[in-house]
Amino acid sequence: MEILLTLAVIGIVWLIIASNKDKKAIIKERTPSHLEGAKTVISIIDMQMMLLVDRNDLPDKARDIYSLGYISGMVEASLNRSRKNTNTTMAAILYVLEDVFGKYDGSLLFNNVLKNIEAKDDRFYLAMNDGRAEFVKFIRGEINAPHGWLNYVQGV
């Protein structure tokens, strides 16, 4: 029993170390051209957050699978004009989450993004499509302002 417990602890420590190495590689992919799109997404989410009661007391929905997928989709769409790869997209998503939710919470939420991508969660991918579509409509001038994230978080 003690051996199994020791192996489990070693496995968890290994996953944490591997996760941090992956984050370091992803952070190296942050370039000014990729962050421009990310900054646009930050502005969009910040504007929607201002309409909430208290930014420091966000509803649970602001951090759930759909919300993270929606934000990730917006970020991914914001990078379409630049040369992107998986690491640059992930670097931009991490940048946005750390800015919007704070460095610590953003980093934890980024881990959730990675888990949902790996698990191929349908709800996460549906949300990515919704976020991507709304960002494109906004850039094309088809809508005045994105509001899908706010509507979701408020349950509208």
Is pLDDT larger for residue 152 or for residue 6? 152
Mean pLDDT of the chain: 79
- Encode pLDDT of 29-70 as tens digits: 455 566 788 888 998 998 888 887 666 778 889 999 999 999
What's the mean pLDDT in 2-13?
A: 39
Scanning the structure block, which residue is given the tokens 């949300």?
Answer: 127
pLDDT recorded at residue 15? 40
Distance CA 103, CA 95 (A): 9
Closest CA to 74 of 86, 55, 89, 54: 89
- Structural domain containing residue 90: 2-154
Select, from the ranges 10-24, 33-47, 131-145, the one with the highest average predicted confidence (pLDDT): 131-145
pTM: 0.77
Confidence grade of residue 12 (pLDDT, cut at 50, 70, 90) = very low
The total number of structural domains in the chain stands at 1
- Mapped to the 3 state alphabet, what secondary structure does 91-150 carry? HHHHHHHHHHHCHHHHHHHHHHHHHHHHHCCHHHHHHHHHHHHHHHHHHCCCCCCCCHHH
* pLDDT for the residue numbered 132: 94
pLDDT, average across residues 108-136 = 93
What's the token pair of residue 134?
């709304």
Residue 112 has pLDDT above 80, yes or no: yes
Residue 90 near residue 29, CB atoms below 8 Å = yes
